Amino acid sequence: MDKRKNKLVNVTILGIESSCDDTSASVLRNGVVLSNVIAGQKVHEAYGGVVPELASRAHQQNIIPVVHEALKQAGVSKEELSAVAFTGGPGLLGSLLVGTSFTKGFSTALNIPMIEVNHLQAHVLAHFIKQNEIDNNHPTFPFLCLLVSGGNSQIILVKAYNDMEVVGQTIDDAAGEAFDKCAKVMNLPYPGGPVIDKLAKEGNPKAFKLSKPQIPGYNYSFSGLKTSFLYLLRDELKKNPNFIEENKADLCASLQYTIIEILMDKLQKAARDLNVKGVAVAGGVSANSGLRAAFEEYAHKYHWEIFIPPFAYTTDNAAMVAMSGYFKYLHNEFAAMDTVPFSKLVI
Ligand code: KG4
């Protein structure tokens, strides 16, 4: 088969993700993942959060070796690629620029199209990545997706790969932010979500009663919870300076329990009112063991068909970018050479 015909039969997409502090490249062939390489950035650890300028510099150092490794692990040559997909936003502008500029050079050199991908949509479409040729375990449209990360908490009605409606979202902090900020006041390392998850396993989720927001509709709010957690610590520390140390597991368990209750309550209302039975979860917080267990529980109780991503696709990864690129490739949706990234981009 000549190279051109082969490209039509085997749609091979290279995905590039550089929206925050993970440089990632992935190769997918007809939606089947062949490689997914992620280089994290340890440089931010000392600062307790991502430093944008350091992130873009690290992306510049990482991007070529990461792409090289993704192609090598996939056993695919550059010439076999049908297109290159990249994250066009939302994210840190300097970080996005590295991926976008690399993509422009790469697609020009190889004379292949480039495809712009919305990072948030990519998290949702990660549910369509196939682990192998016979993997058919993906949602059918329409379905609901709870997208929970460090920057987002949204309930999305997914009608098609390119038609998503946000039916509820946070009016202040995101769920991941609530985990991270509460971890910080307990002097736990950043990012706090995974640490709280681990400590919560040893604690009593009902030990401390924390405030829950009373807002109408499907919107979320986490700032009140954060404040009530802060006040609890402040008041208890006055009585006992070792309060946090002595109650760490119970504090983590109670906080995690409350965040999950808030998330699941609105999600269940949306699923009920919109009469949707397919319910998925995506984003960094979807790695949380308590949230995963709550999904199983709700599936049983409300007869949901649930979709929980493998851990590799919960945090930022290029496989989800390549998957979104694959959908767009099939519909000839390509990006122009003068495309620029946007730090603020909505679904
Ligand atoms: O999607 P993501 O990787 O990127 C950003 O939005 O930046 O999400 C990161 C967020 C952080 O807030 C982190 O604390 C949270 O996901 N996270 C978790 C867990 N793993 C990551 N939160 C709770 N439990 C976890 N196991």
Contacts of 327 (CB under 8 A, 6+ apart): 125, 128, 161, 162
In one-letter notation, the amino acid at residue 114 is: M
Res 47: pLDDT: 82
CA of 14 to the centre of ligand 1 (A): 25
So what's the pLDDT on residue 7? 60
Determine the pLDDT at residue 8.
61
Ligand 1 atom with the smallest distance to the CA of 316 is 3
Name the β-bridge partners of 38. Answer: 24
pTM, full prediction = 0.94
3 state DSSP class of 29: strand
| Gap from CA of 194 to ligand 1 centroid (Å) | 7
Written as tens digits, the pLDDT of the chain (347 aa) is 555 556 668 999 999 999 999 999 999 999 999 999 999 988 887 887 789 999 999 999 999 999 999 999 999 999 999 999 999 999 999 999 999 999 999 999 999 999 999 999 999 999 999 999 999 999 999 999 999 988 889 999 999 999 999 999 999 999 999 999 999 999 998 889 999 999 999 999 999 999 999 998 999 999 999 999 999 999 999 999 999 999 999 999 999 999 999 999 999 999 999 999 999 999 999 999 999 999 999 999 999 999 999 999 999 999 999 999 999 999 999 999 999 999 998 98
CA 115 to ligand 1 centroid distance, Å: 26
Q: How far is the CA of 315 from the centre of ligand 1 (A)?
A: 7
Pocket of ligand 1 (CB under 6 A): 20, 149-151, 176, 179-180, 191-194, 197, 283-285, 287-288, 315-316
Q: Which of 179, 186, 263 to mutate to test the pocket of ligand 1 (most atoms within 8 A of CB)?
A: 179
pLDDT value, residue 6: 62
Query: In angstroms, rounded to a whole number, what is the distance separating the alpha carbons of residues 39 and 54?
Result: 14
Instruction: State the closest ligand 1 atom to the C-alpha of 22, by its place in the atom list counted from 1.
Output: 3
How much distance in Å is there from the Cα of 6 to the middle of ligand 1?
39
Give the pLDDT score at 275: 98
**Ligand 1 atom with the shortest distance to the CA of 151:** 6
Residue nearest to atom 2 of ligand 1 (CA): 284
Query: How far does the centroid of ligand 1 lie from the alpha carbon of residue 93, in Å?
Result: 20
Please give the order of strands across the beta sheet that includes 23-29.
32-39, 23-29, 12-17, 83-89, 114-118
> Token pair for residue 158?
């997914």
Write down the pLDDT at residue 110: 98
